[in-house]
Structure 1
Amino acid sequence: MSEWWESQSGGIPMDSLITAAARALTAGDPLGALNRVALRDDAPALALRGIAMAQLGDFDRATALLRSAARAFGSREAVARARCVVAEAEIALVSRDLSWAAKALDTARETLEAHGDRVNAAHARYLEVRRLLLIGRLDEAERMLADLDPMPLPSALRTAHELVVAGIAIRRLQTKTARAALVRAKRAAHHAGIPALAAEVESAYHVLNTPAARLIAQGEDRLLLLEEVEALLASETLVVDACRYVVRDAHTVVSLARRPVLFELARLLGEAWPEDVPRGTLIAQAFRTKFADESHRARLRVEVGRLRTEFGPLADVSATKRGFKLVPYSAHEVIVLARPIEEKHAAVLALLVDGEPWSSSALALALGASQRTVQRALDSLATAGKVQSFGRGRARRWMTPPVPGFTTTLLLPGPLPGD
């Protein structure tokens, strides 16, 4: 939000206090800005106070001030009003209110471009790209990002550009691309001199340098970094991926996300490979029952047949004297890729561990689930003491502290390579 007042146009009368407050905000000093304009109620001061409050984390007050500023500017100050819309959209993004009107932001961006305010127009573009990244629409985010040239932009926006590039690469498990983007982001953040930006870059580095998944194979159980996961998925290994509920090799991906019983069978067979799994074990764990009768054994035969069909060119499921075993067609090895910590409602927690406050509607949008389903998950997590909420009604937000030592990247919305 430091670029909001980077350049002036539109005939807004300026004075030394407004200029000094704007420079303080650009430098990441909201208290210095407030010291200059806290007692003023003219439109430029209201806008700058709103941005200062946003930088201090009081998003509700910041939104109210920006809306007051937009009304005070009036229809003649189109550029200033557009900047207020952009600033309000950024507050919504930071507070994870992902339902904000993209059309209003587009209109504001077009106004800024028409009046030559390229910096804030680019800022509006980056907000929409970041929103697309949050909800897992990576292809759209990449297309929009391709239209942006960061070179002529201020250091803060160049940092934002590289963070988005890194974010997309991390979601796609392209770790070399992500590291190169973060090197550029760190350099740009240093030139910008804004501590919050530098902290955001360090947080992104943390994702690359902490365990992202757990490998289970032939009695071995060890943690993997993202780049190790990337190498594993590119190898001649059959992977039963319990992070995304798919079974895959380097060329083929079979999704079992909507077939939980089949995936449970695949995981049990994958963990036991190259040995077989007794029928009783498969029935007990896949069907969640302690007692097996002939109807359960018949159902197991049906489900195994369905699993063979789903596997297609990847593998066969062969019957043995005591049960079944997995037989890959071309892979040299079978492994199970699991979450670092097995957790119910892990996808919800994966979004919440960014430390930002999320609404249940934003979580539902990002996960592609119904708001009622997400609310039930939040209630369950709150009962277990794993999340907490503040506010009421539409203003209610949910948060959780990060899980120490682990990254939840593989649980976030968006495809893995080959999906």
Structure 2
Amino acid sequence: MDSLITAAARALAAGDPLGALNRVALRDDAPALALRGIAMAQLGDLERAKALVRSAARAFGAKEAVARARCIVAEAEIALAARDLGWPAKTLDAARATLEAHGDRLNAAYARYLEIRRLLLIGRLDEAERRLAELDPAPFPPASRAAHELVVAGIALRRLKTQPARAALARAAHAARYAGIPALMAEVESASQVLDSPAARLISRREERLLLLEEVEALLASKALVVDACRLVVRDEDTVVSLARRPVLFTLARALAEAWPDDVPRDALVERAFRLRLADESHRARLRVEMGRLRAELGTLATISATPRGFALAPCAASEVVVLAQPVDEAHAAVLACLGDGESWSSSALALALGASQRTVQRSLDALAAAGKVQWFGRGRARRWVTPPVPGFATTLLLPAPLLDE
């Protein structure tokens, strides 16, 4: 490897893409193409970066398996940055195996981190945690240790374990400062702000207040009956009942919880659950049926009783009833939560991350675009959607994750 390639590689490792381009911008040999691609990725031109890295992989040839595998890892990282979550994971796994077979432990570990970060984005926390446990960051340089701790913090935040998240972010900040890479330090700082930003609203006895993630964690560990509008579950200290696939039942449960300890008039429940302004006897009959279904779903968590004017909720064991709502009222909050990371997403990637159909996600994007809350660029399969983060709010509770008691 000649001196210019070595110098460019060192510049990239230090987070200086312009310094790397100054050395290899006019060269078209395979190592230079790969370095130019990585530099363009660091500068944010992901389409150009992807093309350069692919050209480098072809230029290296079949005999240079390690170099080709490194290019595949670089392309996978570019795909992750572009939120191309459908990028073939098997290709990355094969490249990682090649690197491990040739003794390139550092880049093999980096490939593993990319796999874990993709799993984290699509909410597969158990699998991400299992794969992360197989990695020991101690032998790696500071930048890799910072990346490791960011993944640890991401998993902890999704599981609402704030103390482990703070500890991991502190270790990440220390490693990032030691590495001296400004972009990495900024990423750690951005992740840390989630812990100090309102993450949800508490609605109790018709009053509202904002909660930090630590307060949400304490609430879910308390003896209160929580109707969680972020996860679409009803839970107490010991039991969780998911109503994610029963939207009418969840709407009724939330309406009753917001009014607790008072009751809710029948016409108000019909309007909220069925979106009807005027209720007739058939609608009231349907309401009685849905209330029966809700009683069966809640089981030992709470009882629902009829009153002269409507229905009332009463917890069986909990001392109070509260609603945990999104920090801002938004019909398409889950889509905005994904877009809130500041990256550009395709509709297919959003559908994969949220576990929804692409048609459903596209309708949400169209509605948000009409309201001026998101923007798009590109055409066809290259179209990407972006939005600035909601100022001052964390979106952790809106992102995909398993039930919090698992």
TM interval, shorter chain, is over 0.9
Deviation at 1:400, TM superposition (A): 0.4
Matches within 5 A, 1:70-81: 70-81=57-68
- Does residue 230 in structure 1 map to residue 217 in structure 2? yes
Question: Are positions 1:119 and 2:113 aligned together?
Answer: no
Q: Which of the numbers 116, 127, 133 marks the counterpart of 1:146? A: 133
Alignment partner, residue 3 of structure 1: none
Match of 1:195 among 154, 157, 182: 182
| 1:131 to 2:104 alignment | no
Distance, in Å, in 2 between the alignment partners of 1:376 and 1:321 is 41
Distance 1:310 1:17 in 2: 67
Report if the CA contact (8 A) 1:173-1:416 is conserved.
no
| Aligned match of 2:235 | 248
Separation (CA, whole Å) in 1 of partners of 2:162 and 2:62: 47
For 1:319, the equivalent position in structure 2 comes to 306
Specify the SS of the correspondent of 2:258: helix
Q: Which residue of 2 aligns with 1:172?
A: 159
Query: Which residue of structure 2 lines up, in the alignment, with residue 19 of structure 1?
Result: 6
Q: In the alignment, does 2:102 pair up with 1:95?
A: no
Aligned to 1:58: 45
2:278 corresponds to:
291
- Residue 45 (1) aligns with residue 37 (2): no
- Which residue of structure 2 aligns with residue 304 of structure 1? 291
Residue type of the alignment partner of 2:150:
L
- In 1: Cα distance, 2:271 partner to 2:65 partner: 66
Q: Which amino acid aligns with 2:149?
A: E
CA–CA distance in 2 between the matches of 1:373 and 1:33?
43
Query: What is the alpha-carbon distance in structure 1 between the residues aligned to residue 14 and residue 157 of structure 2?
Result: 29
Partner residue of 1:4? none
How big is each residue's C-alpha offset from its partner over 1:322-375, in whole Å with a ceiling of 9 and x where there is no partner? 211111100000001111111011111110010001011110110111111111
Paired amino acid for 1:150: P
Please give the secondary structure, in 2, of the residue aligned with 1:61: helix
In structure 1, distance between residues paired with 2:245 and 2:140:
45
User: Alpha-carbon deviation of 1:416?
Assistant: 3.9
Q: Secondary structure at the match of 1:304?
A: helix
Q: Say yes or no: does 1:159 pair with 2:146.
A: yes
Alignment partner of 1:331: what SS? coil
TM-score, normalised to structure 2, is 0.99
Which residue, out of 355, 372, 380, partners 1:393? 380
Q: Which residue of 2 aligns with 1:281?
A: 268
**1:188 counterpart letter in structure 2:** A
> Structure 2 residue aligned with 1:215, among 177, 202, 223?
202
Cα distance in 1 between the residues matched to 2:327 and 2:348:
27
**Aligned AA for 1:274?**
P
Q: CA deviation at 1:223?
A: 0.1
CA RMSD, aligned part only? Answer: 0.8
Is the contact between residue 357 and residue 399 of structure 1 (CA under 8 Å) also seen in structure 2?
Answer: yes
Q: In 2, distance between residues paired with 1:383 and 1:127?
A: 34
Aligned AA for 2:52?
L
The match for 2:352 is 365
Contact 1:218 1:273 in 2 (8 A): yes
- Please say if residues 171 and 416 of structure 1, whose CA atoms lie closer than 8 Å, have aligned partners that are also in contact: no
Q: Distance in 1 between matches of 2:401 and 2:197?
A: 20
Question: Residue 341 of structure 1: SS of its match in structure 2?
Answer: coil
Q: Deviations over 1:274-329 (max 9, x none)?
A: 11111121122212112121111211111111110000110000111221111110
Structure-1-length-normalised TM-score: 0.96
Distance in structure 1 (CA, Å) of the matches to 2:284 and 2:379:
50
Residue of structure 1 aligned with 2:320, choices 326, 333, 352: 333
CA distance in 1, matches of 2:274, 2:60: 64
- Number of residue pairs matched by the alignment: 406
Displaced runs of 4 or more, over 4 A: none
Code of the residue aligned with 2:42 in structure 1: it is Q
Paired with 1:410 and 1:359, the residues of 2 have a C-alpha distance of: 22
For the residue of structure 2 that corresponds to 1:313, the secondary structure is: coil
Deviation at 1:264, TM superposition (A): 1.1
Q: What percentage of aligned pairs have identical amino acids? A: 78
Matched, 1:376 2:376: no
Kindly state the Cα deviation for residue 219 of structure 1 after the two structures are TM-superposed.
Answer: 2.4
Distance in 2 separating the partners of 1:131 and 1:260: 29
In structure 2, the residue matched to 1:5 is none
Is the contact between residue 212 and residue 339 of structure 1 (CA under 8 Å) also seen in structure 2? yes
Deviations 1:92-130 (A, max 9, x none): 000100111111111111111111111000000000000
Decide whether the 8 Å contact of 1:273 with 1:326 is kept in 2: yes
In 1: Cα distance, 2:246 partner to 2:297 partner: 10
Which residue identity is paired with 1:194? I
SS in 2 for 1:152: coil
The code of the aligned residue for 2:318 comes to A
Are 1:404 and 2:391 matched, yes or no? Answer: yes
CA–CA distance in structure 1, aligned partners of residues 199 and 326 of structure 2: 7
Shift of 1:175: 0.4
Given the alignment, which residue of 313, 331, 346 partners 1:344? 331
